[in-house]
Amino acid sequence: MYVRVKRVGSRRYAYLAKGVREKERVRQMTLCYLGPVAKLGFGIPNDIRRKVQQRFQVNWEKVEDEIRQIPLTLEEISQLRRENFNPTARTRSGPRRSRAKGELSALSKLAALGFRERFEKIGDREYRMR
């Protein structure tokens, strides 16, 4: 079994597939849908794992390792960040007050540091999770 990535329009989707011999050819047989590549950046959700585990015996460590090797585009990374960003951190509670001097630059430096820890650049506008 291996992870197969298919592009539909501008989005990419991951599937679990295996090679099946038909006469003299080997063809790919899709076993199940894993989800959009952008959503799999933090791992395969537990509900998908349970569904797949009912039908197949899967080595999840190998599958997750293959998913980590898929290069992510900047658009997929930004989608991943938007979906996993804590909504309470987005809004400031209480009365509106101005930011402290240097607060924005400190926040952007922290975000860049976290980004560099999680991703490595592999091409122009393409990154891979470490």
Judge contact between 74 and 38, C-beta under 8 A: no
For the whole model, what pTM was predicted? 0.60
pLDDT at 92 over 80: no
CA 111/CA 103 separation, integer angstroms: 12
Burial 94-113 (b: 16+ CB within 10 A, else e): eeeeeeeeeeeeeeeeeeee
Read off the pLDDT band of 101 (50, 70, 90): confident
Q: Greater confidence, 59 or 116?
A: 59
Q: What is the mean pLDDT of residues 66-81?
A: 81
pLDDT of residue 42: 74
